[in-house]
Amino acid sequence: MQIKLSIMVENKNITTYKESLKEKILSAAMALFAEKGIKAVKMDDIANSLSISKRTIYEICENKEDLLFEGVKKRKSAQQEALREFAEGADNVMDIVLHSFRLTIEQFKFTNPVFYSDLMKYPRIMRYFEEDKKKSQKQFREFLHRGIGEGYFREDVNYDLIIYILSAQERYIMMSQLYNMYSMEEIFYNLIFISLRGICTNKGIEVLDGFLINIKS
């Protein structure tokens, strides 16, 4: 009985260590990908940044694409959790929507545009983004309808159409690589200004303009 208990404890410790190691590897990899672009980063670079062997990384992920895929999912999950925690204490839906935009803008600040170009070369990850977008659009639609009830968004707008237009704009930005001409921060700022401001009531515009002034300063 004592031997079985010791084995169970040992296995649990090994599992905890591997999970912790995986978290560190994914965080280090995503930081390097964001800084240099995906193609420019070698597995050796990730290993060296953590002072571990490349073999250790391959025990966690089979190749760089798997590493990137897991890292993208981890980052998305962290963003969703941060938004969920904020939403629980938010006074109104406008604060939630603008906080989501703020998180996105902060991410853009620390991401090399090359990262986005490289990302499009991975069909599996792009499919993941498309599936995740459907979930995000559903949540955004719920926020918009809640915002109507709270007096921040107009009632005389076809919000399904607005969501399709925003999705098309996002797709165009990525396909045309507009981020090579303008920073993603500037693109996103103007996208918010054009699309979101147009559906706001006077009450919503007052809050949004304050937000836009703050992120520009």
| Contact of 185 with 105, CB cutoff 8 Å | yes
Walk along the chain (217 residues) in steps of 10 and give the mean pLDDT of each run.
49 67 93 96 95 90 93 91 89 89 84 92 93 87 92 94 88 88 86 85 92 76
Domain 1-64 homologous superfamily, CATH: Homeodomain-like (1.10.10.60)
Predicted local confidence at residue 8, as pLDDT: 47
Q: Which residue has the tokens 């639609």?
A: 141
Distance (Å, whole) CA 102 – CA 96: 10
User: What would the DSSP string read from start to end of 111-163?
Assistant: --HHHHHHHTT-HHHHHHHHHHHHHHHHHHHHHHHHHHHTTSB-SSS-HHHHH
| Segments making up each domain of the chain, as ranges | 1-64, 90-216
Predicted local confidence at residue 45, as pLDDT: 96
153, β-bridge pairs: 200
Burial zone of 7 (CB within 10 Å; 0-12 exposed, 13-18 middle, 19+ buried): exposed
Predicted local confidence at residue 5, as pLDDT: 46
Main-chain phi, psi angles of 61, to 5 degrees: -135, 140
Q: pTM of the entire structure? A: 0.81
Predicted local confidence at residue 15, as pLDDT: 64
| Cα distance between the two ends of the chain | 65
